[in-house]
Amino acid sequence: MKTIKELDEIRKSVYEKVKTRVGVESKTEKKSILVCGGTGCTSSKSPKIVEELEKGIRERHLEDKAEVIKTGCFGLCAKGPIMIIYPRETFYTMVKPEDVEEILTEDIEKGNVVERLLAKDIETETLAHTLHELGFYKKQHRLALRNCGRINPENIDEYLAFDGYKALEKVLLEMTPSEVIDTVLKSGIRGRGGAGFPTGRKWAFAANVEADQKYVCCNADEGDPGAFMDRSVLEGDPHSVLEAMAIAGYAIGSNQGYIYVRAEYPIAVNRLKIAIAQAKEYGVLGSNIFGTDFEFNIDIRLGAGAFVCGEETALMTSIEGKRGEPRTRPPFPAVKGLFGKPTILNNVETLANIPEIILKGAEWFSSIGTEKSTGTKVFAVGGKINNTGLVEVPMGITLREIVYDIGGGIPNGKAFKAAQTGGPSGGCIPASHLDTPIDYDSLMQIGSMMGSGGLIVMDEDNCMVDIAKFFLEFTISESCGKCPPCRIGTKKMYDILDRITKGLGEEGDIEKLEELAQNIKKSALCGLGQTAPNPVLSTIKYFREEYEAHIKEKRCPAGACKNLVQYKINEEKCKGCSMCARNCPVSAISGEVKSPFKIDPQKCIKCGLCMQKCPFKAIEKK
């Protein structure tokens, strides 16, 4: 247990050590080597790099010259593992354990930059010495991710150094619960989990209910495929979520919080456990926080792989230890939630914003973004795009800016076809809407939704019917089965799509899909079912001609649907080397050496191996 004075002393002394990381000059000559320890970089061996660095520093007796810090995600996952060396802020990318020797000798000992490890800006083709020189970072505004890549998430002192737990101190000592709710309301922040409900209103509902026990839950069951924003916040800055939950607890009158997090996120779970233990040790969680009579504790509950548990009532049922099935509302969780008590549920990213709103004020926050969508939004950008990774942008930025300025455009000279937001509940945005501002209402208007922040880019090789089918397959396997529209309706829609992609589509299929979709939207019990038809509806809306080509001409314009594709050998390009025939697993290709070969369409199983193996690119897919 630390007193306010002791915490301030820690803040002051640690800030001296870490301030170079925010561009403040420091007298210290010791270099800080920050290595990304997020899931992406960990997968490409960043722990080994940390190990080698620590070993090298020990062996060379460089302890006074450099220290190694494992941080959360820097965002540019495509170029991982990433390392930043302060105070010069040198930004090294795609670092391998073998590079450590050279980094220690050249950079740490001699003070030179290892140029071959610098990233090249895609547009200007110049070497970037610091991350600010990369187009990827120029339009970003890191607010929820403020500490990701800046602090060691396993060390509470570094969180404290950047005003950590100051917001909690402020609300407990200077504000009434209703002032806290008022500030959150005025900031205009809306739920970052997807639906965009105003956070302050949610808190106000729960605060107004009289009860002997209330709960604060954090939704970290990030189930959308292709989304990893919440995971990155938990991995990079777990204390910001804990602090925000305590603030929420004070605001609504609760002393117990639960974080429901995916078991598939072992690094995040581990860092949360460490953070909770440290927060208890320092007395910023537990009883009599900051000498007041406010008490707040947080427990972790692991999800077990059910997408539907991202829905609020299902999530609470799951924390209760049951099958995670949703139930009808009302009663809303603010009245009757977890264990039958008033409960608020906020998403990880929403919570990560709260301490900043308290410290810097509602006006500051609402000055960022647009009038109705204030603040920033974190997106996990993936798919057919050069700079895959995590980006945080002010609301109102256009999709074009995200895809081209930040994302660096589409690889291999291909054309942008669509961006998918909102995961299985969202829709596909076509090129004609690239200039749509990204905010809750504009996305809704064009048939997609903000969603939790997955943004998958697709190019001309992706078939939109196939993508719609992909999402429905997901919904079918994740439907809990409680209500028939979702359980049976989505399966029926899937069956129609499956026929279409196999060349068995019939006249009237599109209309049938639309009718089923409308009925499911109207009658399904929870958000999962109600939004499940969205990927189908939005692809029909923007890519109807692609559906028609499948149905009427039995043709897949993108060349992705296997049953509709035919492989042909271009006689002009074929040199008769027989490579294709030798590799064909079903002997469907024949011919004489040095004259053009032929594929027998009856025997061909369309595996595409011949196309991969042909040295002359003579095999075409139609």
Partner 1 sequence: MAEKKCCCCELNSEKLKRLDQIIEEHKTMEGALIPVLHEAQELFGYLPEQVQQKIATGLGCSLAEVFGVATFYSRFTLEPKGKYNIQVCLGTACYVKGADKVLEKLEQLLGIKAGQTTEDGKFSIQDTRCVGACGLAPVMVINDEVYGKMTPDMVEGILAKYN
What Å distances lie between residue 396 and 290, 371, 441, 602, CA to CA? 39, 9, 10, 53
Would you mind telling me the total number of residues written for the chain in this entry? 622
10 versus 122: smaller Cβ distance to partner 1: 122
User: Cβ 527 to partner 1, closest distance in Å?
Assistant: 17
- Look at strands 427-430 and 416-421 and give their pairing: antiparallel
353 versus 475: smaller Cβ distance to partner 1: 475
User: Cβ 532 to partner 1, closest distance in Å?
Assistant: 15
289 versus 391: smaller Cβ distance to partner 1: 391
Q: Which residue has the tokens 């247990």?
A: 1
189 versus 457: smaller Cβ distance to partner 1: 457
SS3 167: helix
User: Cβ 498 to partner 1, closest distance in Å?
Assistant: 14
Cross-strand bridge partners of residue 392: 378
Secondary element (H or E) of residue 390: strand 389-394
Chain mean position to CA 103: 31
Structure tokens at 323: 């099958």
Chain residues that interact with partner 1, rule: CB under 8 A? 39-40, 43-44, 77-78, 80, 223-228, 231, 263-265, 301-307, 318-324, 339, 380, 382-384, 388-389, 420, 423, 454, 456, 458, 462, 467, 470-471, 474, 480, 608, 612
107 versus 222: smaller Cβ distance to partner 1: 222
Map 471-512 to HEC letters. HHHHHHHHCCCCCHHHHHHHHHHHHHHHHHHCCCCCCCHHHH
153 versus 303: smaller Cβ distance to partner 1: 303
User: Cβ 457 to partner 1, closest distance in Å?
Assistant: 8
User: Cβ 377 to partner 1, closest distance in Å?
Assistant: 17
> How many angstroms separate the most distant Cα atoms in the chain?
89
111 versus 321: smaller Cβ distance to partner 1: 321
Alpha-carbon distance of 427 to 521, in angstroms, equals 14
Which DSSP string corresponds to 13-69? HHHHHHGGGGT---S---EEEEEE-SHHHHHTTHHHHHHHHHHHHHHTT-TTTEEEE
What Å distances lie between residue 286 and 300, 346, 354, 551, CA to CA? 15, 21, 20, 62
225 versus 591: smaller Cβ distance to partner 1: 225
Alpha-carbon distance of 505 to 493, in angstroms, equals 12
578 versus 583: smaller Cβ distance to partner 1: 583
User: Cβ 153 to partner 1, closest distance in Å?
Assistant: 16
CB 66 within 8 A of CB 32: yes
Radius of gyration of the chain (CA): 27
Residue 532's closest CA among 582, 473, 572, 608? 473
User: Cβ 338 to partner 1, closest distance in Å?
Assistant: 9
CB 117 within 8 A of CB 129: no
CB 539 within 8 A of CB 588: no
Residue 417's closest CA among 396, 434, 441? 434
User: Cβ 384 to partner 1, closest distance in Å?
Assistant: 6
User: Cβ 213 to partner 1, closest distance in Å?
Assistant: 11
- Look at strands 343-347 and 376-383 and give their pairing: unpaired
User: Cβ 458 to partner 1, closest distance in Å?
Assistant: 6
Q: Which residue has the tokens 């829609």?
A: 493
CB 591 within 8 A of CB 578: yes
DSSP strands (E only) in 54-152: 66-71, 83-86, 90-92, 119-120, 127-128
Alpha-carbon distance of 541 to 560, in angstroms, equals 20
200 versus 382: smaller Cβ distance to partner 1: 382
Structure tokens at 552: 């009427």
User: Cβ 467 to partner 1, closest distance in Å?
Assistant: 7
Structure tokens at 204: 């106000």
Amino acid present at 320? E
264 versus 548: smaller Cβ distance to partner 1: 264
Structure tokens at 377: 């939004």
Structure tokens at 363: 């006006």
205 versus 470: smaller Cβ distance to partner 1: 470
320 versus 371: smaller Cβ distance to partner 1: 320
20 versus 462: smaller Cβ distance to partner 1: 462
User: Cβ 262 to partner 1, closest distance in Å?
Assistant: 9
Q: Which residue has the tokens 């061909």?
A: 604
185 versus 560: smaller Cβ distance to partner 1: 560
Alpha-carbon distance of 201 to 198, in angstroms, equals 6
User: Cβ 245 to partner 1, closest distance in Å?
Assistant: 18
